[in-house]
Amino acid sequence: MTQDHANSGATSTEAAHAAYRALPSVDALLREPALAAQAAQVGDAALLDAVRAVLAAARTAIGAGSPSPAPHQWPEQVAALLDARMRRSLQPVINATGVIIHTNLGRAPLSANALSAMAEVGQGYSSLEYDLERGTRGSRHDHARALLQRLTGAEDALVVNNNAAAVYLVLAAFCQGREVLISRSQLVEIGGGFRIPDVLVQGGARLVEVGTTNRTHPRDFADAITPDTAALLRVHSSNFRQIGFVAMPTLADMAAIAHDDAAHVPLLLIDDLGSGTLLDTRTYGLAAEPMVQESVAAGADLVTFSGDKLLGGPQAGIIVGRAPLIEALRRHPLARALRVDKSTLAALEATLWAYDRGQAPDELPVWRMIAAPPDALHARAEKWRLALARYGVESSVSAGESAVGGGSLPGETLPTWLLSLSTAQPDSVAAALRHARPPVICRIQNDKLLFDPRTVLPEQEDLLLEALHASLVRTAG
């Protein structure tokens, strides 16, 4: 070992000793006045845990040659750790992406009525399975039933956990060990790995593909029927669109085949609508998304759709259709495993009431966002631009497009106005925005950050602008 090395070794050891000696005691940090308010919130045990973790990290850092933190940094580090630990994993975010039914961001925001209905039944006891007329045991399946019958024209209805569960239950109950005919154009993957062929297999059904990728004709179904056939299944292609030389029988055509008296056995026509809608999307300048009422009227025996896509309610799977079939589903052992809880039912019932009163377009956030007029969106984006200018931040307002999302209306967009921000470090600003409170999720396109007012709730605007300003300052610093 050379003289130099020995000297530097001795110096660094001395520095480390000094740094270790400078470490505050656990007790001193526990009594730190700057942590008192937070300590009261989190409790003594969490505070002690955080203090020990910060001191341990400092010892490790000193061992690796770092200096001891300055005195004022100790409470800051403990506070930051407590803060991070207290932050909920599932938290509200501001959706500035312009995708209305954003599956990663929780799909449909709920209406005020749906939220208060959830809070009311959640706060105390409820008539979940209690018949208030008779004073006897009731059924949770009764709550949204009459509304769904009225709104869809179906004989009966059942609500389960989500639409995937709805499709699975239907297949397990009626198609186990038997054949299900489906067009080759509809063997789709919906997203998150949910593939129709896999669900069929899980439900115990045997998949029989008919037609071709682009064209399927009524006779393809008719010719494929055997004594083993249980059902014809139509699946809405949801997240993609076929154009060009394509053909698919109408639901009424399929109903005629399924219910043909000459068939060997009575066949079911099952229609998985995915999103489904009770309102006509064409009224809003969009393409037609299949309507639940139309499927029922066209003769589908069972129709399944989601509660939190275009319906604009809580996560749920809704099955409507012929009364004896729905009754069999209700009695199926799987129905218990797939049932929904009281807060879902409360939110769903409140959401359906909005349709029943004809107020869905005004009351449900999803439809309000779809219906937002371009002028109003322009005014909001312009207001944001001016507010940012007061912070000294330059931005612009440009024409753009919003999407409905949620596996509905693929390729369809709604004209909107975007707040557009140029920055040297778009990814860093976007990352800072994701760490804001609440986190803000935006789009990045051509190195610009884009914010679509369509999906930002009016009461979130100030928080969005504050987060944006703070993120720009933090990223610049």
Ligand X SMILES: *Cc1c(COP(=O)(O)O)cnc(C)c1O
For 228, the token pair is 């083993």
Q: How far is CA 307 from CA 259, 349, 405, 407, in A?
A: 29, 11, 14, 13
For 176, the token pair is 């186990």
Angle, alpha carbons 44-46-51 (nearest 5°): 90
Instruction: Kindly state the smallest distance separating residue 132's Cβ from ligand X, in Å.
Output: 31
The CA distance from 126 to 158, in Å, is 20
The CA dihedral of 344, 350, 353, 355, to the nearest 10 degrees, is -80
User: Count of CB atoms within 10 A of residue 330's CB?
Assistant: 18
Instruction: Kindly state the smallest distance separating residue 352's Cβ from ligand X, in Å.
Output: 16
Give the nearer residue to ligand X in terms of CB position, either 32 or 308: 308
The CA distance from 222 to 125, in Å, is 52
The CA distance from 293 to 280, in Å, is 10
Give the nearer residue to ligand X in terms of CB position, either 24 or 405: 405
Q: Does 163 bind ligand X (CB under 6 A)?
A: yes
For 435, the token pair is 């760490």
User: Which three-class secondary structure state does DSSP give residue 130?
Assistant: strand
Q: Does 317 bind ligand X (CB under 6 A)?
A: yes
Give the nearer residue to ligand X in terms of CB position, either 38 or 163: 163
Give the nearer residue to ligand X in terms of CB position, either 319 or 381: 319
Instruction: Kindly state the smallest distance separating residue 141's Cβ from ligand X, in Å.
Output: 18
Locate all alpha helices (DSSP H) within 26-162, ordered by sequence.
26-30, 36-42, 44-63, 73-86, 112-123, 145-152
- Which span sits near ligand X by CB under 6 A: 162-170, 210-218, 286-294, 348-356? 162-170
Give the nearer residue to ligand X in terms of CB position, either 182 or 419: 182
Instruction: Kindly state the smallest distance separating residue 96's Cβ from ligand X, in Å.
Output: 23
Give the nearer residue to ligand X in terms of CB position, either 16 or 110: 110
Q: Does 453 bind ligand X (CB under 6 A)?
A: no
DSSP state of 313: S
Site for ligand X in 220-239 (CB under 6 A): 235-236, 238
Are residues 166 and 221 in contact, defined by beta-carbon separation less than 8 angstroms? no
Residue span 286-315 as binding mask against ligand X, x where in contact by CB under 6 A, dash where not: --------------------x---------
- Which span sits near ligand X by CB under 6 A: 60-68, 156-164, 200-208, 210-218? 156-164
For 243, the token pair is 């154009």
The CA distance from 5 to 381, in Å, is 63
Q: Which of residues 111, 113, 162, 395 is near ligand X by CB under 6 A?
A: 162
Instruction: Kindly state the smallest distance separating residue 278's Cβ from ligand X, in Å.
Output: 16
Instruction: Kindly state the smallest distance separating residue 233's Cβ from ligand X, in Å.
Output: 11
Instruction: Kindly state the smallest distance separating residue 395's Cβ from ligand X, in Å.
Output: 35
Q: Does 190 bind ligand X (CB under 6 A)?
A: yes
Give the nearer residue to ligand X in terms of CB position, either 220 or 272: 272
Give the nearer residue to ligand X in terms of CB position, either 109 or 407: 407
The CA distance from 400 to 372, in Å, is 14
Q: Does 351 bind ligand X (CB under 6 A)?
A: no
User: Which three-class secondary structure state does DSSP give residue 101?
Assistant: strand
Instruction: Kindly state the smallest distance separating residue 339's Cβ from ligand X, in Å.
Output: 15
Are residues 267 and 258 in contact, defined by beta-carbon separation less than 8 angstroms? yes
Give the nearer residue to ligand X in terms of CB position, either 164 or 231: 164
Give the nearer residue to ligand X in terms of CB position, either 58 or 173: 173
Instruction: Kindly state the smallest distance separating residue 296's Cβ from ligand X, in Å.
Output: 17
How far from chain centre, in Å, is Cα 154?
27
Q: Does 347 bind ligand X (CB under 6 A)?
A: no
DSSP state of 215: B
Give the nearer residue to ligand X in terms of CB position, either 249 or 407: 407
Q: Does 405 bind ligand X (CB under 6 A)?
A: no
Q: Which of residues 203, 314, 407, 426 is near ligand X by CB under 6 A?
A: 407
Give the nearer residue to ligand X in terms of CB position, either 44 or 198: 198
**Which residue is associated with the tokens 């979940």?**
128
Instruction: Kindly state the smallest distance separating residue 434's Cβ from ligand X, in Å.
Output: 24
Site for ligand X in 241-280 (CB under 6 A): 272, 274-275
φ, ψ (nearest 5 deg) of residue 112: -60, -40
Give helix 342-356 / helix 145-152 axis angle, nearest 10°.
Answer: 30
Instruction: Kindly state the smallest distance separating residue 298's Cβ from ligand X, in Å.
Output: 17
Locate all alpha helices (DSSP H) within 142-217, ordered by sequence.
145-152, 163-174, 196-202
**Which residue is associated with the tokens 């509905």?**
408
Indicate the residue whose CB is closest to ligand X: 274
| # chain residues binding ligand X, by CB under 6 A | 15
First to last CA, the chain: 44
Instruction: Kindly state the smallest distance separating residue 293's Cβ from ligand X, in Å.
Output: 18
Give the nearer residue to ligand X in terms of CB position, either 106 or 439: 106
Are residues 169 and 336 in contact, defined by beta-carbon separation less than 8 angstroms? no
- Residue ranges in contact with ligand X by CB under 6 A: 162-164, 167, 190, 194, 235-236, 238, 272, 274-275, 306, 317, 407
